[in-house]
Structure formats: structure tokens, C-alpha cells
Amino acid sequence: MPTANPVKSQHRRSLKETDPSIYEIIQREERRQEHNLELIASENIASTAVREALACVMTDKFAEGYPGKRYYGGCEHVDEAEQLAIDRVNQLFGSKFANVQPHSGAQANMAVYHAFMKPGDTLMGLALSDGGHLTHGSPVAFSGQMYNIVSYGLKADETIDYDDLRKKAQESKPKIIVSGASAYSREFDFKFFTKTAEEVGAIHMCDMAHYAGLIAGGVYPNPVGTAHITTSTTHKSLRGPRGGIILYDNEEYDKPLRMSVFPGLQGGPLMHVIAAKAVAFGLCLQPDWKQYAQQVKKNAQALAAALTQEGFRIVSGGTDSHLMLVDVRPFGINGKVAQAALERANITTNKNTIPNDPEKPFVTSGVRLGTPAVTTRGMKEPEMQEIAAQIATVLRAPDDDSVTSAVKEDVTALCSRFSIHDVS
């Protein structure tokens, strides 16, 4: 009688059988997503097809190098997947070259800096306190530690201070000027950035991480073709797997950028993630993506208007995108209190500093809200009205458990009307 191969029989058991602990934890996360309103502006709900690709056998494959030029054998299929991801993302944004290997948005930015700057060179980005990202020069991140940082910021009306930006660029002669942000709701004037960068001999790098899904849907200005280099994450409004990309048109950038990603910063690319990126880009190329992107923006504008009606102040006076910063001080509370109270009512947000915030970054005076995930669930303007009312009800009485519990019931009911399992 042939004996069963114990390794093999173990190897093909389901997650539930093999590791019930992790299986149960994942189930609990799925239930959390189902029963909570996800208003974190950087989050979304990936499709079944994206998650299926993420779980595929390509996780096994080493493919150091690029399609057609690998350091390992057996790369014919992963080559096809990576080439498809490259072709699709170029079609989506209109770029000539794409690197789809960065493991994350932070690594995409690091790769651009590493390709064109030496330690001590000057990097300009939007200040973290005004909506910029850690990778744009924060002193707690590699960007702020490795490079000389000159930050630009916002004017009194909480929009970008372009005059100050230009003046600082002329004085400090940066190597790279970064546009893009994590908590800025308005449009960027990408042409101004390119013009200013060219005046001082700098590269304009746009980090469109937050806006990429809207740009793909044509409802936010496309930096590609204007910025010299554009980076992005793939998991925010773009709704793909967690990852990064770099897009550019100039052939002269090709070699330094490739070399910077691999072998400069990374080893083997995550081929299963790259396959999932290809799936996500394919979905963004479908005609219904435009409708999604339009609805994300309409929902954000409806939510901002309804919150203003409720008595909140929206930073920059409103939004041109998927996100908004809500100043919660009119309700006599801070961002930390607001986030915690909303969480007790199953509304997931993040506290966020607002321009000239008197509070510490761990306390803050604001919360950041975004509509990509709730729009993926199918919610529209009427639900944004409902959500604004729920937020206001909770934050008017953040310590009142009976209020929070009542809102939590409403939120759960709203979530079950828009199940994550019905997402098309």
C-alpha cells in the first residue's frame, strides 16, 4: 500500500484546518469590515479578483530583474504578468514608462529620491502639518533624515502658497520638488510645480498616492505628462493590492529608476502583488470606473456640505477630491476624542492635524474623512447625509454611551444595506 506523503497532505490543507487561530482572526477582520463604516481616506475594499491574484502561486517565484532580463529561470509567466501590468498602467495614465515593482508608496518615493539625490541634497515637499506625507521630508522618516528638507505650506485660506513655494525653490535650489499629499482636499496646480522646478533645475515628482483612482477616472487633474516623474500607491482610491508604482515619459530616467528599485533598494519583486496590480489596472480601464470616480467625488462633496450644515468646519473650505479634513473644535472636542467616540459607533476614521493645529500630533484638532470605501459599497449622496448626521450626533455627546449605542445600531443597519459581499 502506498503511504501518504505527510508533507504533501499537510501542505494542501485549508487555512481553517492548518491554522484556526489566524483563520478566526481573519474572519473577525472580515466581520469588522462588513459592520463598520470605513471613512479612512486612504482605504478601500479590494475586489475578489484582486484578492484572488494576491493569493496565487506567483508568491513562490523569484524574478529579480525586469521582464525579459531576469536573473532567474522559469520567469516566462511572471514576465507576461508584469508586462501586462506595465502596459495597462501606461494606458490608464498616459505614461510611456512604468515601474510596477515598488513594494509600497513609500518605497516608490524612496526609489526616486535614491535615483536622483545624494544624502544632504535638498528636497522640497508639502509640510506634514499642512497635509504632506512622511516621505515628503518629515524628520521622523528617512526622507527627513537623509536629505536637506525645505517644506512649503498653505496660505491663510488653507490652499497651497505658490508664491512662497517658488521663492523657497529659488533660494534653496532643490534637486526634487514633490507635489501631492495625504491630507489636502483641493487640486494641485501641477503645471506650476513643473514650471518652478524647471526654473531651478529640479525634478518635479508628483506623488499621486491619494488621488490616483480619481485621476484614472478623469475627475482630478492628471499629473502624468506634466510632472517629470509620478509615483503612487495602488491600494488607496485605485482599489488594488497594497503596493507602489513609478511612471515617467523621459527615457533618460529609465535606467536610473530601474537600477534604483532593483538592485538599489529591493530584491525580488512580489510577483503575486504585481499580478494583482495588473488586475486592478484592468478594472480601472473599464468604462464603469469613471462612474465610480465621479461618485467618490460627489459623495465627498455631499458629505462635506452636510457636515458643514451640522456645524463642523471643513479645512480649505471644501473638497475637490475624495477626502476632507474636518475641524472638530466647533464641537468643543479634539481629534483624538472624536476618533475614539466615532469608533465606538462603528465609524472608522483617523484623527489628523489641521493647518496651524494647536494640539500635538497624537491629539490633533481634526479628523480626516474619505469616501472611496463607502462608494465601493454602493453608497451615494443620501447615505452621505445619513453619515453626516450620525457623525454629528456622536460628536455632540461623545461621552454618552446611550447615544453612541443608538448610532452604532443605525450604522450597522446602513452597512448591512450595502454589504461588502455585494460589491460588484
Ligand X SMILES: *Cc1c(COP(=O)(O)O)cnc(C)c1O
Query: Can you give the length of the chain in residues?
Result: 424
**Nearest residue to ligand X, by Cβ distance, number only:** 105
Q: Which of residues 350-369 bind ligand X (CB under 6 A)?
A: none
Closest distance to ligand X from the beta carbon of 225 (Å): 19
- Contacting ligand X (CB under 6 A), which of 135, 237, 365, 376? 135
Q: Which of residues 232-291 bind ligand X (CB under 6 A)?
A: 233
**Apex 155 CA angle, 151 and 160, nearest 5:** 60
Cα–Cα distance list, 46 to 6, 173, 291, 313 (Å): 35, 41, 17, 31
Which CB sits closer to ligand X, 182 or 301?
Answer: 182
Query: Checking phi first, is residue 98 left (phi over 0); if not, alpha (psi -120 to 50) or beta?
Result: beta
Q: Distance between CA atoms of 29 and 387, rounded to whole angstroms?
A: 22
Which CB sits closer to ligand X, 122 or 135?
Answer: 135
50 binds ligand X (CB under 6 A): no
133 binds ligand X (CB under 6 A): yes
Q: Which of residues 298-327 bind ligand X (CB under 6 A)?
A: none
Which CB sits closer to ligand X, 230 or 375?
Answer: 230
Which CB sits closer to ligand X, 40 or 389?
Answer: 40
Q: Which of residues 24-43 bind ligand X (CB under 6 A)?
A: 42
Which CB sits closer to ligand X, 135 or 346?
Answer: 135
106 binds ligand X (CB under 6 A): yes
Closest distance to ligand X from the beta carbon of 181 (Å): 6
Contacts of 94 (CB under 8 A, 6+ apart): 222, 224, 225
Closest distance to ligand X from the beta carbon of 126 (Å): 9
The residue type at 56: C
Cell numbers placing 252 = 533618460
Q: Which of residues 152-191 bind ligand X (CB under 6 A)?
A: 180-182
Closest distance to ligand X from the beta carbon of 213 (Å): 12
Q: Which of residues 193-232 bind ligand X (CB under 6 A)?
A: 207, 209-210
Q: Distance between CA atoms of 166 and 189, rounded to whole angstroms?
A: 13
Closest distance to ligand X from the beta carbon of 235 (Å): 7
How many residues lie near ligand X (CB under 6 A)? 14
* Nearest partner of 304 among 291, 316, 292, judged by Cα: 316
Which CB sits closer to ligand X, 257 or 403?
Answer: 257
Which CB sits closer to ligand X, 65 or 102?
Answer: 102
Contacts of 325 (CB under 8 A, 6+ apart): 131, 183, 185, 314, 315, 316, 352, 354, 366, 367, 368
Q: Which of residues 66-105 bind ligand X (CB under 6 A)?
A: 104-105
Directed axis angle between helix 401-417 and helix 381-396, to 10°?
170
Q: Distance between CA atoms of 206 and 228, rounded to whole angstroms?
A: 8
**Coil, strand, or helix at residue 329?**
helix
Which CB sits closer to ligand X, 122 or 233?
Answer: 233
Which CB sits closer to ligand X, 23 or 142?
Answer: 142
Which CB sits closer to ligand X, 85 or 407?
Answer: 85
Cell numbers placing 357 = 493645529
The residue type at 100: V
User: Cell 501542505 appears where?
Assistant: 11
Closest distance to ligand X from the beta carbon of 42 (Å): 5
Closest distance to ligand X from the beta carbon of 44 (Å): 12
Q: Distance between CA atoms of 273 and 51, rounded to whole angstroms?
A: 9
Closest distance to ligand X from the beta carbon of 32 (Å): 20
335 binds ligand X (CB under 6 A): no
The separation between the first and the last C-alpha atoms of the chain, rounded to the nearest angstrom, is 49
Closest distance to ligand X from the beta carbon of 113 (Å): 12
Q: Distance between CA atoms of 175 and 153, rounded to whole angstroms?
A: 18
User: What are the E-state strand segments in 122-213?
Assistant: 122-126, 148-152, 176-179, 203-207
Closest distance to ligand X from the beta carbon of 339 (Å): 18
Distance of CA 1 to the CA centre of its chain: 56
Which CB sits closer to ligand X, 141 or 374?
Answer: 141
Q: Distance between CA atoms of 35 and 42, rounded to whole angstroms?
A: 19
Closest distance to ligand X from the beta carbon of 198 (Å): 23
Contact residues: ligand X, CB under 6 A: 42, 104-106, 109, 133, 135, 180-182, 207, 209-210, 233
